[in-house]
Structure 1
Amino acid sequence: MTAVPGPEAELSLPEARDLAIDASLPADGFPNVTAALAHLHIVQLDSISTLARAHQLTLTARIPHSTTTCIDQALYNRTEPVAFDYPAHALALVPLADWPLWAFRRRASRRRPQYPDQKTRATLFDRITAEGPLPLRRLRENTAAGAGWDWGPVKTAVEFLLWSGDLASSRRTGGQRLFDLAERCIPAEHLNDDLTDDECLTRLLTHAGTALGVATADDLADYIRIPTAIAVRLVPRTGLIPVRVQGWGPAWASKEALTSPPRRSRGPMFLGPFDNLIWHRPRVQRLFDFVQVFEAYKPAARRIHGYYVCPLLADGRLIGRADLARKDETLTILQAGFEPGAGPDTPTHFADACRSLAAATTRTRIELADSAAEPAITRRLRTTLALNGATPHGNR
C-alpha cells in the first residue's frame, strides 16, 4: 500500500471554499468551449430541457457572454468535433484527447455480461458502416424495442458498445446522439487503449484534483465514478498536494489552487443542478453547509424546492435556490427560497443572477410566479427584479 504523506498545508474552511470555487469557476472564465472542457475534463449531459440542457448551463456559467445556442454551435456545428459522449461522471462530454484515459472503463465494459454478443455487434456495425452515423431511433427500426427511456435490447446493446468504445458519439442531430464506429469519429492519435488501468486512473484523478481545487479522496473518486478505495490507493501518485482542511480529515489540493490566490470577480449566478461544483452532495454540505437536492424525478407532491432547482452562488456562498423554467421568451421563477442567514443583499443577488441566466438562455423577460415564495419574499423579489431592469409578472 502506498504511504499517505502528511499534510503540507493547513486550510480553513473559508479558504478551502474559495479554492474550490476558483478552481471550478475561474474569475475570468474560459475563452471558449474547448478551453472549458480541457479544464473540467467532464461536463455532464442530461435530457431534461425545462430550462436548458445540463451541459449548456455548465458551460455558459464558465464562458463569459456565451449563450446556450452558441454552446451547441461550438460543440456540434463544426467540421471537427471537440468532445465525445461517455459515461464518465454519468453520461458526459469528454474532450477527444482524453479518450486514452478511459481505456480502463472500456476494458471493464467488455467483461460485463451485458456486453453484446458477436452476432448483435456485427449487425449493428454492418448497418452503421453502410448508412453512416445513426440515432438510436433509427437503429431501433424494424425491432420490437420501445422508445424513450425503455432499455430494450437495441438500446442496451448500443449503450454498452458506447461504454466499450466500439461505438462513439461526437455529434447530434435534432438533439439526438449519433452513434458511429469509434475509428470514424475519434482521431487516430487518440484511438488507443495503451495505458494500464492504474495509469488511466492516476491521470484522471489528477484532472479531477485540478478541476476541484481541493478535495477528499471520496470527492476525487466521485468525479470519475470509481470506488473510493481505489482513489485512496492512487492519489499519492498524482502530484496532488496533501492538505488538512478544517473539519475534513485528509484532503488533497492541486498545486495551481494553492499557488494562485483565489479571485472573486464573478457576479452572482445560478448553478445548473448538474454543475461540476455541486455534483457530490457530501462535498457541497462540507463546503457550503448547503443541502443539495434534485427532485425532478420525485412525484410533485414530494418535492420541497421544485422540479428543476438551481442553487444561487454569491459572495462565495450558496445563499438560495430557485425552481426555474423557460417558455417562449420568458424565464419563469416558479419557486424561490433563501438560506438561513443569507443576508440583506440576497434579493439583489437573486435578481442579478436571474438577469444573467435570462441572457445566457436568450430569454427577454423574467416572470415571477405569485406563489414563488412566502408573501414577504415574493414582494421583495418583485420589487428588486423591477429595480434591476427585469420585467416581473405574476401568473396570469
Structure 2
Amino acid sequence: MTAVPGTEVELSLPEARDLAIAASLPADGFPDVTAALAHLHIVQLDSISTLARAHQLTLTTRIPDTITTSIDQALYNGTESIAFDYPAHALALVPLADWPLWAFRRRASRRRPQYPDQKARSSLLDRITAEGPLPLRHLRENTAAGAGWDWGPVKTAIEFLVWSGDLASSRRTGGQRLFDLADRCIPAEHLNDDLTDDECLTRLLTHAATALGVATADDLADYIRIPTPIAARLLPATGLTPLRVQGWGPAWASHEALTSPPRRSRDPMFLGPFDNLIWYRPRVQRLFDFTQVFEAYKPAARRIHGYYVCPLLAEGRLIGRADLARNNETLTILKAGFEPGAGLDAPTHFADACRSLAAATTQTRIELADSAAEPAITRRLRATLALKGAKRQGNR
C-alpha cells in the first residue's frame, strides 16, 4: 500500500481483492449465526431451494463445520429471535439491534401511495392483535383488503406494513413468514425511530464498508439500496478511510480492513448466487474480472450457465462456476466451467468445494452429469472427484 495525494493509501487490485475477501469471508469464520449476522448486517433471502435457501448458503460458508438446516434452527427455534426480515438489500435477514437504523426507510414507506389506508391497516392489525402472528395465507382470508395472489391487495398491504414498521417478521412456520405487531417482535430497547435519515444512513454505510472491506461509493450504496449521490454526500462523515484502487479511482475502506492483514486460509468453496461478496455485478467484475449472472428466472433456452449457478472461489480468485442441485441425498453437478487462466489445480479445487458443499447440505453422494462440460473437462472432473473420494476412503 502506498500513499497518494489527497488519500491515505493506494491499493493494487490484488490488495483490494484480498481485503474484500477477508472482510466478507474472514479466514476463521464466525462461531454462530448471531456473530455472522452482526458482521454482515444484511443476509439476503430467496425462495428458491434447488440447492438450499440463499441465507443458508451464505451463512454456512461463514460458520465452520455447520450444516444448512442448523441455520434455520438458530434463526427460528430459539427462545428468542435474533433477526427480522426487512427490504434492506432485497428482502433480507437483519439483526434485531439494527432496527433503529432502518427508520429512514420506514418513514419513506409511510409516504408512498401504496401504504395502506386507515381501514385496511385497522383490518389487518386488529386481526393480528387478536389472533397473534399469522402467515400471509391466513391473512388473505376474510380481510377488508381483499383476496389476492403474489402482489395482490393483501400482500401489498402486508409488505408495506412491514416496510413501514407497523408489522415485523422474525419467525417462520413451514417456511412461511409469520407477521406480528412490531412491538411483539422487536425488543423495546431497539424499537424506536429516533435517528434522523442521515444518522441512519451514515451508520449503515459504515456497516456496509465493514462487510465489504474496500468499496466505491456505488458499491456501498448498493449494499443498502440507496442512491449513489446520497452515499457520496454522507461518506465523509462515516470515519471510513478514503483511498484509491488501481483501475477504480476513489474508494473507501474500513479501519478494520486496513489494519488487519488479510489471510488466505479459506478452502475452495462455492458461493451461493446471493452471497454478499458477489451481490453487485459491477464490483465483481472490477474485483475478479468475473461476469456474475443469475439465470434462474430466464427461460431455459436463454440460460448460458444454468439454473442455480454458484461461482467457485479458490486462492483469492473466482476461477469457475457450477450449476448445482440436490436430490435424494445427492449433490448433482448439472453444468460446470472454468475461467480462462483458472490453473492446473482448478479440478482439485472444484472437487474440494463440491465435497464441502455436499457436507454442508448433508448430501451423501456427488454426481456429475455427462453433459456437465466439454468431454475433456468432464473426464477430468470425474477423475478428480473419484480420486479425492478414494483418498478420503483410504484414510479412514
Give the TM-score normalised by the residue count of structure 1: 0.96
Q: What does 1:26-41 correspond to in 2, within 5 Å?
A: 26-41=26-41
CA 91–73 in structure 1, closer or farther in 2 if over 3 Å, else same: same
Question: How many angstroms apart in 2 are the aligned matches of 1:142 and 1:115?
Answer: 20
CA distance 1:102–1:390, shift in 2 (3 Å): farther
Structure 1 position 146, deviation (Å): 3.5
Residue 10 of structure 1 corresponds to 10
Q: Corresponding residue for 2:113?
A: 113
Does the Cα contact within 8 Å between 2:148 and 2:154 map onto a contact in 1?
Answer: no
Moved over 2 A (4+): 142-147
Q: Which residue of 2 aligns with 1:394?
A: none
Q: Give the 3 Å change call, closer, same or farther, for CA 328–310 of structure 1 in structure 2.
A: same
Aligned AA for 1:382?
Answer: R
For 2:139, the equivalent position in structure 1 comes to 139
Q: CA shift at 1:253, angstroms?
A: 0.5
How many angstroms apart in 2 are the aligned matches of 1:390 and 1:325? 23
Query: Which residue is 1:151 aligned to?
Result: 151
- TM-score normalised over the length of structure 2: 0.96
Aligned alpha-carbon RMSD (Å): 1.1
Determine if contact 2:351/2:384 at 8 Å carries over to the other structure: yes
Pairing 1:199–2:199 present: yes
- 1:87 is matched by which residue type in structure 2? P
Q: Which residue in 1 is equivalent to 2:394?
A: none
> How many residues matched?
385
Task: Write the deviation string for residues 150-209 of structure 1: whole angstroms up to 9, x where unpaired.
Answer: 211000000000000000000000000000000001000000000000000000000000
User: For residues 71 and 259 of structure 2, what CA distance do their matches in structure 1 show?
Assistant: 31
Measure how far apart 1:328 and its partner are.
Answer: 1.5
Q: Deviations over 1:372-392 (max 9, x none)?
A: 00000000000000111189x
Is the aligned partner of 1:332 residue 2:332? yes
CA contact (8 A) 1:271 1:312 kept: yes
Cα distance in 2, alignment partners of residues 17 and 228 from structure 1? 22
Aligned partner of residue 7 in structure 2, secondary structure: coil
| 1:46-100 CA-partner distances (Å, limit 9, x unpaired) | 0000000000000000000010111110110001000000000000000000000
Q: Where does residue 89 of structure 1 map in the other structure?
A: 89
- Distance across 1 between alignment mates of 2:39 and 2:238: 16
The answer on 1:172 being equivalent to 2:175 is no
* 1:43 equivalenced with 2:43 (yes/no): yes
**What is the letter of the counterpart of residue 55 of structure 1?**
H
Contact kept, 8 Å, 1:331 with 1:367, in 2: the verdict is: yes
Alpha-carbon distance, 1:282 to partner: 0.3
Letter in 2 for 1:309: V
Alignment match, 2:185: 185
Counterpart amino acid of residue 258 in structure 2: L
SS at match of 1:389: helix
Structure 2 unaligned regions, length at least 5: 392-396
Alpha carbons 1:355, 1:390 under 8 Å: kept: no
Q: Give the conservation status (yes or no) of the 8 Å contact 2:148–2:155.
A: no
Task: Note the C-alpha offset of 1:305.
Answer: 0.1
Asked whether 1:80 is paired with 2:71, we answer no
- Contact kept, 8 Å, 1:205 with 1:221, in 2: the verdict is yes
Describe the SS at the equivalent of 1:244.
strand
Contact 1:145-1:153 within 8 A present in 2 as well:
yes
Q: Check whether the contact 1:334–1:368 (CA below 8 A) recurs between aligned residues.
A: yes
Deviation at 1:142, TM superposition (A): 3.5
* Partner amino acid, structure 1, of 2:147: A
Q: Which aligned pairs between 1:134-283 and structure 2 lie closer than 5 A? A: 134-142=134-142, 145-147=147-149, 150-283=150-283
